[in-house]
Structure formats: structure tokens, C-alpha cells
Structure 1
């Protein structure tokens, strides 16, 4: 029987193999790649935000190649319909000549689904992903169709300030395990990108893992134990994002309209388990929870108009929350 250290080493070996393989294609963006892999290992969906052309689509395609998984892509546009996502019933003629309705699965029936520029579609079409993301199934004409695991959605969106975008509804944002911000490459990274992509041979990732490996990694993450004190630390952070909470700092009471849901606590703890394994430990520390703080909670905090007027970001509010909780972490949890 493997001990915790052996399990952590096995997990880290496969995680680093994926990271190395992706780096053959993706230049820089180390933090983005790591956070995407953390979400995959935890079994959570991911939202990438950044302007077009920063390699978001290439990243998810490379990840699918590295994991040897089925990959599908949906380009979200204002005229995209829900049936274009989930599938629809079509009238087909059988061998006997009778006509019956047959379900034609949509692109959502895959292992890795890239929802490209998701905030360019209307809210009605965006919500078509809700059931698939949460229930791993879709319902068409009253019949439920399960999606075979592993199933993971990586959605990309443009900054909401751009024209022709529709902000994602809070219910759908909450389904995303992580929200990751993608920035511009540095001069050195841009030079390497140009060298790789304008030569005779384009880089391509090879499969270094498979479906069984990924499912085992996700199971290992859930088996990692967490001390009650560390769990309370994560829970206190989530409660501190709620305006009017006894743990809420002044910044939350002033700038936050709605705080994180319980899914935020789940994401913090699961991501903390992954970070612990990457550090070679079969446990979770407070530092692991802190590493997961911004990607796990930044999309789960709804700021008010005063925050917008003062140019306050969710990340700044979360920094205040963390500092406040650390100052008061000697106090017991109050519900």
C-alpha cells in the first residue's frame, strides 16, 4: 500500500510531465498553465479572461493533446443557439422506412470542451452550458443524456469593456472552479513565440498521460486529508467576503454587493490539496489555501458601483480579506 509521500510523488511526476509538454508549445504564461492544470487535476471548469490572440485556444488544444483526450471547440457568437451546444433531435428514416426522432449529440459531448469567447453569445445560449457543467449531462426534449467523464469546460472571454460582449450571469460564473487572467507576453517571450511559429516546423505536444491517469489524479486530490484548522482558515476567508459578516473587513462592507458562495470554499480546499501535492506533501497548509485565493474567488465576488467608481478590483478586495483574516485567525469560527 502506497504511503502519502509516494502518492504525492506520483502525482507531481505526472503533473510536471504535463507542464513540460505544454511548455513545448506555449511560451511563458507559467502561472496560467499551472493554474489550468490545477483546475484540471481538481476536476473543475476554468474561465480564462484576456484579449484575443494571447494563446488561450492553443493552450487548451495543447492540453487535450498532452492528455490524449477528445477535444471539441465551440465558437460563441450572438446568433449561436442552445441546440448548437447541447445537440438536438432530428427526424431520421429507419431501415423499415418509418420516421423517428433521433438525438444528434452536440459538441458538449466530449472530454475537453473549449467554449471560445463565451461572453459573445446571448445569455440564453450561455445558460445552455449550465446543466452540462454542473450535472455532467444535458436534457433535450425532456430526456436526459449523460456526458462520459472526464468532462472539463475551459471557457475564454474577452474583457467585458469590449464591445459586443454579454457579461456572464452570476450562476454560470459560480460554476467555474478558477478564473484565470491572461496577460501580454514579455519582449523575450514574444521573440520566442515568433521564432517558434514562423519557422518551417510548428511545435506540437505529444500524449504524456491518458484518461485513466487523469481520473486517478482527480481521485488522489480528493483523498488528501486537511487539518481542521486549515479548513477553518479557508472557510473564514469565504465568510469574510460576505458584507455584514463579523469577519468582513471594511473594504468588503464598502465595496462588495455579494460575496462568495459555498462553491468558493470547495474550490479553495480542492486547489489547496493540489498545491500541497505539488509541494511533495500529502496534506494542505495555509499557504496552499492562499495560493488558490484569487483564481478561486475573484469571479465569485460581485462589486458595487462605488467599487467601480473607485477602480477597486476583486483581487484588491481579496487581499484585504486575507490580511483581515490573518489578523483575526486566532478567533473561533462564528456562524
Structure 2
């Protein structure tokens, strides 16, 4: 492991200045992702800036009914928060299928959302990886492709975005609050925070070096009380999703008044299913309609033989979640 310096700033401004002024500095919160990469030799920072002492660990009600969640809030605490469980259950459910209880007790909101998008080849320093070393090549393209992305991939990277929480928060139109070198707060819709790999897979997000995620704001969304997150994976913990679906559903009798859908496990970023939403809005809440919506969204998928199974798996998972939500407060055909 490369030796590194350690700083524990007292203010957000001080933390941002420390990282922004040093291209080899990184933020440290729960560390559940960073520590692994330090031990593997993938991350080799000169300076760790510990932000866990900053006052970013509160959950506050916003005027109008929204919620502001500090970036240092632990995943376990957020999953158990009574307001989140009652009004945005999809968020709590996504957290409860993330990692293990021990990891949820350590990991933070900010760290979860900003963990590296990665595949097994990224984790292996002995193999070429454009995300780890730009221009070195993508081992996954000619290697094990069963877990590669079917949406948003490029010729330079097929790694799937790993965060369950990000998928759920994209489905409820959450907004990231960021402070950078200028000191002026910025608000970025979470659906716009993540970058598809394109020709620069080394950049996971639109954030600049030194930008600090300070909070996430969840807007008032009364329909989110009827929401659900379902994850399908190789095992119950310590595994990324093969497919996950976050759904917020608003019914008007047997018709879909409004719906929000996001997929995980399929894309290089959390995938907001806007095409599927458009198919469903205003139409009948039937299994046939649900399957048609999934088909419309997944028509853009570009699978290879090893991961083609995830297309019908995603369709069936979406249909099952929508039918379950209808049964909980309406009818479905």
C-alpha cells in the first residue's frame, strides 16, 4: 500500500480546499469501497481527507414536505428512518438489500452513491482496464461478459453501476447537493449525476475533482408511499444486482395515473425507464400493458450471448413488481 497523509477538516470549505488543491487527494467517509481499493493497490491517493466529522449526518424536513438527507447519514440509519419507511419505502427497501448489516452500519449515503462503477477486471490490477488506466483496454469485452451492462455500454467499458440506493433515489426524483472549489452550493438531479462511459470510463460522474456531495434532497412525492424495490441477484448479500427495479405507482381505479421506474443491474448508470413510463401513463394497469412497457424500454438493450438472459429477467421482474403494487391498492389484469 502506498503511504498517504491524513487530514480531518472541521468545515466543508476546508475539506473542499484540501482535495481541490491536491490532484492526488480523495475524500474518506465510511470507507467500505475505498479501503478495498487501497488494499488492492487500485486507489493510490497521496492524501485522505476524512469528512466524517463534518455536520452532514442529519435528516431534516424541508418546507413543502421533502426531506434533506446529509451525506454522512449511515445506510442502516437511513433505512430505519420512520419518515423514509413511511413515505419513500422504495428507498428503505433498496438499502436493506445493500451489502450486509455490518456494511450498512458503516457505509454512508454519500459513499454509497459515489462508489466506483466496477467489474471484476477493475478489481484486478493485473488486467487491462480503461476505467482504472485509461487507454489500456477493456478486459471484460473479450472475457467474462455475463455480468456486463446491456444498456449504456461503450467499446471502452461495460461495467454495471453497483448502487441499489442510487436506483431508488433516481425513481423518486432526488437531487444531489454539491459544494465545489467556488464554495457555491449546486443542485444536480440524481438522474444527471452519473456519466455513461463513452470514451472516458474513468469518470463515473459529472463531478469535478474537489466537489463534495453534502446532501441529497428527496422531493415531496405523495405517490411514493406506494413504491417498491426488488433486487434479483446471485445471492442475498455481498452481490450486485443482476436486475433490480424501483417503481413508484399512482393508480386511478384500474388505470395508471402516473409511474416512475428505474432499473439497476442493467446499465452503466442507474437507468430511469422513461420509455416504459410513457407507455404506462394513462393506460390500463394490466400485465399485458406492463410487459409492453418493459419491451419498449429494453428494445435499446445491446446484450451479448452471455448476458442476454437479463432482458427477460428484467421484463418479468418489472411486471411482477407492478402487479404486486396494484394488488396492494388496486386491481390488475
TM-score bracket relative to the smaller structure:
under 0.3
TM-score by length of 1: 0.24
Between 1 and 2, higher relative CO (CA 8 Å, sep ≥ 6) is seen in 1
TM-score by length of 2: 0.25
